[in-house]
Chain A
Amino acid sequence: MDEKDKLQVLKDILFTDDREYAEKISKRIDILEQTINERKKLSTKVDPIVEQQLKEFTRNIPSTLGPSITAALKEEIRNHKDEVVDILFPILGKMIKKYISQEIRILSEKVNSKLGFKGFKRKVRSWFGGVKEEELILSELSSARIEQVLLIEKESGILAASYSITKTIDEEMISGMLTAIKTFAEDAFGQKNQRLELIEYELYNIHLQSFIAYYVAVVISGDYSIKSKDKVQDMIFNFYENFTKIKKSKKFDADMVHKELITSFGDASI
């Protein structure tokens, strides 16, 4: 054994542990390389971690990103109102249209289910008049109805008598405000002897008929046509004629006027 061989033997003895350790590391690196390079093996290790992180992220969105998103949306809407309206209008329009057609269909079905002689008459009217039956039904359903009648002192706006089928806010306050509006309009825009005759708001009309010391306000819901207006005017004139008689009589009191209002306007068809 020469010097070189001896040195080799000594090296083997001294580095055995290191070599074994290096081999172990090498094997582990091989396994890691395989794990990283092979998707399936990697996913079994990484997926649970990613899944956990995603869950946490999703859970925290409202608190972390929510305020920023809301602020950004608000800002965007504020800065581009017209564009937002343009985008939303067709969507909302379709929704409303769909809702209305659905409601009309339900209404029509309800009415059809109750068709009697009146329904037969309507059908005949529809055939001869050339108007769709649905339109006739709708016009019947939206016909005008008297909701409230107020007899008001013209100058002071004090309520003299009233008749109402629906509960509203204090009628004395309504009378005062109506008088204020009426006198304001007549003061501001009217010529001499011209009177405010009609106030419209949404589905309601207030017909105002002035006399010397009082005026009558009739609140009407539904379709207030010229024909209905004509009927209401006749009713007001008849009532006022009777009211004048009551006022002249010695038996005059507020109850009598109230009764006369019910007689003149209660259950009236217009």
Chain B
Amino acid sequence: MQVSKKIIVLGHFGVGKTSLIRRYVEDSFSDNYKVSIGVHITKKVVEITANDSMSLIIWDLEGTDDVNNVRQSYLLGTHGAIYVFDVTRPSTFQDIHKDLTTIREKMPNTPLLVVGNKVDMVILSELEPILKKHAIIYNFLTSAKTGDMVNDLFHQLATVLYNNAKTI
């Protein structure tokens, strides 16, 4: 049986939200940066078990410096969310706690994964202390460019949604 779930991807400008989705859905990457305006919707069917698959309807929301500015209507009916920050730009994660609190207030009970993207551009041993200093708890460190951990990220969210649906 196949069910459909709405996932939103949000975060600051230029953190690589669109690139992450493109890597996951099309398995491609482009260095050409184009600002996303409004929302772009894509779909990917993911196999959860041998018998069950899930259709992920992924909403790529335009970047914003403050999640309060995200259009409320785009958040309605969201089943799962991914918050992306850029590990090379502290400005994209220095207010992360405030952003995450806002998201959780706006979408209580919605599974949320926190992702640091562009890890191909840093040395991990140097990154860890920086993230520790800001007390950032992340779920994944990804690279849309190399594809590192991108599939795992979406697959984990799909699995969480699948398990949640089974328990309801």
Contacts and interface: CB of A to CB of B under 8 A. Distances in A.
Contact of B41 (A153, A155, A173, A183): A173
B6 interface: yes
Interface size class of A (residues with CB under 8 A): 10 to 19
Interface in A153-186: 153-159, 170, 172-173, 176-177, 180, 183-184, 186
Interface residues of B, number: 19
A140 interface: no
A187 interface: yes
Contacts of B79: 156
Contacts of A156: 6, 57, 76-79
Contacts of A157: 6, 41, 57, 77
B71 A187 contact: yes
Contact of A184 (B4, B43, B59, B71): B71
Interface in A113-137: none
A237 B76 CA distance: 25
B73 A184 contact: yes
Contact of B57 (A172, A186, A187): A172
Given A158-B77, A180-B74, A186-B73, 6 more contacts: A154-B77, A155-B76, A157-B57, A173-B57, A180-B38, A184-B71
Interface of B: 4-6, 38-39, 41-43, 55, 57, 59, 71-74, 76-79
17 contacts: A154-B77, A155-B76, A156-B6, A157-B41, A158-B4, A170-B43, A172-B4, A172-B43, A173-B57, A176-B43, A176-B57, A176-B59, A180-B39, A180-B59, A183-B71, A184-B71, A186-B73
